Amino acid sequence: MFIQHTHQLNIFISLKSILFKIVSYLFDKNIGIMLQQCFQEFKQITAGIIIWLLVFPFVAFSVIFLACWKSFVLLYIKLKYKDGTRLFDSLGFMDATFVTNDNDFVCMIAYAFVSDELINLVKLRAHFDDTFIKDGKDSKFPVFHSTFATVLGYKFRMRVPLDLNRHIREEEYDEDTGTETENEAINRIANDKSNLQGPVPKWEIVLLHHTQKGRSTMILKMSHGLVDAYSVRNLVGILTNNKPTYRIPDSAKPRGLLYKTKIFAKLPVLVWNYMKHMKTLNMNIHPYHPVEDKRSVHPPLKPVWSKTTLDFRKLRQIWKQTGCRISPILMSLHASTIRKTLIKLGKWDGDYARSDGPLSCPLPAPNHPADQGNFCTHVSLCTIGIPLRESSRLKQLQTIHDRVEDFEKSEFSSAIMLMKNMFLDFFIPNFLVDKVKIDENAYATTFNPFIFSPLEYNILGARVTNLYFLVHVEGNMGAILTPLTRGDQVDISVFLYDEAFRSMDDADLYTKILHEELELLVKELEKTHRNGSIKEKKVQFLESNNGKS
């Protein structure tokens, strides 16, 4: 008995010793990581302060000069224009990048709402008037009365009269004529700016009636210089009496003065690191062509688009089993589908395709003004490298998921919003904003992560059966994928502005392959799960949010 107790005691002491060593190792490892992070922070702050000290005389002079200039512009407006503070509103830095020198706009976002019955034009105008114009509501929604103006080098929103007969109109689609398909008609309307030229509000609603099928498609178009997609989502919710349940969360905690001071001190280093990151991605090189190839921009390419609907429950299943969020899942499907479509079209050159290509994703920033009724562009542009040659769909998905999360955790996004809040919107004049324009040869695969409501949409009693995103962009952009959720369905729109996609049939091939890629990803996940390589992660799914965006 004594020998048995002694043996048990020795085992206990040995286990305790091993546990102590494990805890000590982990503690020492964590301390080492923390010390390394602190040293890195110290280096960045020190380097940032040194750079600030070197450029301080120039920066101080520039800020004082621009502040005086902007103050003079505001005084000039107040003296020259009656009730100038009401007529003119300064255009933010991000909004101004979408407006040209002649006050035209370079980007227009549009949504197509396909209904199951015909929508009456007169009733729609009356409904819009009751919702946004009558009884002083126009002061709450100035976006519908806004155009652009440039005063002494600065861009402004200017209030102009609104004519609902001009801005809410209708067209008839007749499939018997054979001149264009319904998709082509929707695409033509979404890209038509002829009714928005001159000093008129930069938005429009067009009802496209398909009388033979007894239904209408409502196409809402707005200048990106007035709103971003998150703002439009809120406006659509008001128009259709459907309040979106998903809301961009505010910052977890208010950023204090110490944090802002640290970011400001590190700002030159953060900007430098981001410039190196963008240079590595090199958006001016086509990701699927030889390095020396430039995109053919003359004559201008004709954009093509296609639409389809995926089963959102399958995306939820992938999310629950992998822990990868919905947006990276769709980004990964986007990358795989482009690669496979180019192979099918004979446009893929495996010898020249890059290992990583750029993917841009506009992320609505926390504390979005649209939640308080102030509609504008309030985003942080996430640009990451996506693997173009990865054969394993799960590895590709995990890589994209990790890179998105790394960007979101980085301080560069905070730095951009800090600069915006501090001085960019107020100081930067028009001619400097124009320098931000992307090179005409720039190419980026783009993903818009804007989730709509899981509830049913209806317009004057007509049920919306499909909801699609369209975009008009001056110049070449590449491939843009936008998912819009409707409960257990997600409507997918793909906008292709690339010499590889010449027709609507090429775009339809993309959406066909997108379905195939989703099924293949599900099968690869099931196979890996059966082999025990992936442990299913237990996550709490919020139906109200349609999953993590």
CA 63/CA 49 separation, integer angstroms: 18
Beta bridge partners of residue 43, listed in sequence order: none
DSSP sequence for 288-307? TS-TT-----SSPPPPEEEE
The CATH number of whichever domain residue 419 belongs to comes to: 3.30.559.30
Q: Is 6 a domain residue? A: no
Segments of the chain with pLDDT less than 50: 2-5, 7-9, 12, 26, 84-85, 252-253, 297-298, 534-549
Shared-domain flag, residues 355 and 212: no
CA 55/CA 439 separation, integer angstroms: 28
Q: Which pLDDT score is estimated for 61?
A: 86
Q: Is 502 a domain residue? A: yes
Shared-domain flag, residues 179 and 282: no
Shared-domain flag, residues 267 and 214: no
Q: Which amino acid makes up residue 527?
A: K
Answer yes or no: are the C-beta atoms of 472 and 190 closer than 8 Å: yes
Q: Is 165 a domain residue? A: yes
Shared-domain flag, residues 235 and 344: no
Could you say which of 211, 239, 267 is where a domain stops? 239
Beta bridge partners of residue 85, listed in sequence order: none
- Indicate yes or no: pTM above 0.85: no
Could you say which of 239, 269, 286 is where a domain stops? 239
Q: Is 223 a domain residue? A: yes
Shared-domain flag, residues 328 and 212: no
54-113, pLDDT tens digit by residue? 888 888 888 888 888 888 888 888 887 765 445 677 777 667 777 766 656 667 888 888
Shared-domain flag, residues 162 and 300: no
Shared-domain flag, residues 282 and 166: no
Shared-domain flag, residues 230 and 261: no
Pairing of strands 304-311, 215-223: unpaired
The CATH number of whichever domain residue 190 belongs to comes to: 3.30.559.10
Could you say which of 194, 213, 239 is where a domain stops? 239
Q: Is 99 a domain residue? A: yes
**How far, in Å, are 42, 83, 102, 148, 154 from residue 72 at the CA level?**
41, 17, 22, 19, 11
Q: Domain total for the chain?
A: 2
**How far, in Å, are 208, 209, 292, 545 from residue 170 at the CA level?**
6, 7, 47, 34
212-260, pLDDT tens digit by residue? 888 999 999 998 888 888 888 888 888 887 766 566 655 544 566 777 7
Answer yes or no: are the C-beta atoms of 327 and 404 closer than 8 Å: yes
Q: Which pLDDT score is estimated for 514?
A: 94
Q: Is 181 a domain residue? A: yes
Domain containing residue 187: 84-239
Q: Is 404 a domain residue? A: yes
Shared-domain flag, residues 418 and 524: yes
Shared-domain flag, residues 216 and 269: no
Place of tokens 């992070």: 37
Shared-domain flag, residues 233 and 151: yes
Q: Is 49 a domain residue? A: no
DSSP sequence for 379-400? EEEEEEEEESS---HHHHHHHH
Q: Which pLDDT score is estimated for 541?
A: 35
Shared-domain flag, residues 190 and 299: no
